[in-house]
Structure 1
Amino acid sequence: MAPEPKAQRPSEGRRPADVSTDDGASGAEAVDPGEVRDAAEASLLRKLHTRQLSVSESRGVLLAAGMTGGAADELLDQFERLGYLDDLSLSQQLVRAAVERKGQGRQAISPLLTRRGIPRDVVDTVLSEMPDDDLERALDFARTKARSLGARDRETALRRLLGQLARRGYPSSVSMTAARQALDEL
C-alpha cells in the first residue's frame, strides 16, 4: 500500500528543467512539485519491492528522481514511520546473510554495511550483537577448504587458507589458529 502524499510548500520538489530550442535559446519550464513527488515516490516503491534499501540509498533514489533535499527528507521520514525503511532491520538481515551464507567475519561485514549507507552507530550496535564465534565459523570454513588442499605441502596450504579466511574478514590471529587446526586435523 502506497503512503498518502503529504501537503508541500510550493517551493519543495520543484526542479527547473532546461529546455533548449532550435535557435539555441533556453528557457525554464516549471515542474509541478506534486508530480515530481509522485514520480519519485513511485520509483522508490518499485525499488523497495525488489530489495530492502537503507535510508541513505533511498535518499539517493529520491534525489535522482528530481526531489529536493527537504522534500526527500519528509518523504523518507514518512516511509520510516510506516516501516518501509529501517536501517537497523536491514543491517541485521545483512549481518545474518553474511554470517550464515557467506561465513564472513566482522571485518568483512562492517565495510558492507558502510557501503549500503548504514549509519556508524547502527553498524556498531549490530556488530556488537553478533555472537563471538569467529573462531568456530573460521574453523568450519577452514576444515572445508583444507580437504581440497590436502595434496599441497603444508606451507602452501596454510598460506592459501590464510588468504581465504582473510578475504572473509577474519582477524589474522583467528585465521592463523583456524587454518593450523584444520590442517592438523587432516
Structure 2
Amino acid sequence: MASESAVPESADREPVVAGSGAVAGSLAARTGAGSGSGKAGAERTPLQRAKAICFDLLAARPRTKDELRQALRRKGFDEDTRETLLGKLDDAGLVDDAAFAEMWVRSRHTHQGLARTALVAELRRKGVDGAVAARAAEAVDRDAEEQRARELVRKRLRALGGVDEQTAIRRLLGTLGRKGYPQGLAYRVVRDELAAAGADTTPLDDAPPD
C-alpha cells in the first residue's frame, strides 16, 4: 500500500513567459538602464536607478505594476519617481496587468490546478484590479474547471493508497478546497471519482449544490 507522503505535491512556481527577459534586457541596453556599478551608477539620477531596478526584475519574470511599485518603495524611491517611471513603463508596454493576469491564469490553472476563485485571489494579492482579475479568470470555464478538479482527485487518489473511505473523502475535499473549488463541485467530483474507484460514497449523497 503506497503511503500518502510518497507522492509529494510539487512546489508552487512563478510562471515565466519565454523571451520576457530578453525583451527587458534589450530595452535596458538601448536606454542605458543596466544595473551597473561604481561611479557611473552613483551618478545616475533616481529615475535612472529606479529604471535599472525595474528592468532587472522584469528580466527575471513578468511583474504587475504594483509589484514594481512595492519593490521601488522598499528601495526608498519617492512616490513621484515611482509613479513617473511606472507610467513610462506602461506606455512602453513593459507592464500590462491585463496581459499578466491572462498569463497567470493559464499557467496556474494548468500547472497548479487552481480554480477561478483562487486565481482571482492570487491576482488581487499581486495588486491586479479585481475586475481585470475576474475577466482573466473567465478564460477557465465551468467545464474546464470541473475537468481539472477531476484530474486532481484522480492523482490524489493514487497517492492515498488504502486509507479508509472517510479519510479519503476528507483529504480529497481538502485538496480541492485549498485550490479554490466551490464546495458543491468538490463534493460531486469526489463522489463520482470514488464511485468509479469502487468506494462507498454514502457520506457524499447529501452534497451541497454547486
Give the alignment's TM-score, normalised by structure 1.
0.78
Give yes or no for contact 1:150–1:157 (8 Å, CA) kept in 2: no
Q: Determine the structure 1 residue equivalent to 2:108.
A: 98
Q: Determine the structure 1 residue equivalent to 2:170.
A: 159
Give yes or no for contact 1:105–1:170 (8 Å, CA) kept in 2: yes
Q: Determine the structure 1 residue equivalent to 2:56.
A: 46
| Counterpart check, 1:127 vs 2:137 | yes
User: 1:171 Cα deviation (Å)?
Assistant: 0.8
The answer to which structure has the higher strand fraction is: 1
Structure 2 gap ranges (5+): 1-26, 33-41, 198-210
Q: Determine the structure 2 residue equivalent to 1:178.
A: 189
The structure with the larger Rg is 1
2:154 maps to amino acid:
R
| Counterpart check, 1:89 vs 2:99 | yes
Q: Partners in 1 of 2:145 and 2:58 — Cα distance?
A: 32
Give the alignment's TM-score, normalised by structure 2.
0.70
Deviation larger for 33-42 or 123-132: 33-42
Superposed CA offset, 1:80-125 (max 9, x none): 1111101011111111111100111112212211111111121121
Q: Partners in 1 of 2:98 and 2:43 — Cα distance?
A: 31
Deviation larger for 32-41 or 87-96: 32-41
Deviation larger for 34-43 or 169-178: 34-43
Q: Determine the structure 1 residue equivalent to 2:147.
A: 136
2:126 maps to amino acid:
R
Give yes or no for contact 1:39–1:65 (8 Å, CA) kept in 2: no
User: 1:141 Cα deviation (Å)?
Assistant: 1.2
Give yes or no for contact 1:40–1:61 (8 Å, CA) kept in 2: no
Give yes or no for contact 1:108–1:168 (8 Å, CA) kept in 2: yes
User: 1:147 Cα deviation (Å)?
Assistant: 2.7
Q: Determine the structure 2 residue equivalent to 1:111.
A: 121
State the identity as a percent: 28
Superposed CA offset, 1:17-60 (max 9, x none): xxxxxxxxxxxxxxx99621111111111111111111111112
Q: Partners in 2 of 1:162 and 1:66 — Cα distance?
A: 45
- Across the aligned residues of Structure 1 and Structure 2, the Cα RMSD in angstroms comes to 2.1
Q: Partners in 1 of 2:69 and 2:43 — Cα distance?
A: 17
Structure 1 gap ranges (5+): 6-31
Q: Partners in 2 of 1:110 and 1:138 — Cα distance?
A: 17
Q: Partners in 2 of 1:105 and 1:95 — Cα distance?
A: 9
User: 1:68 Cα deviation (Å)?
Assistant: 2.2
Give yes or no for contact 1:138–1:175 (8 Å, CA) kept in 2: yes
Q: Determine the structure 2 residue equivalent to 1:73.
A: 83
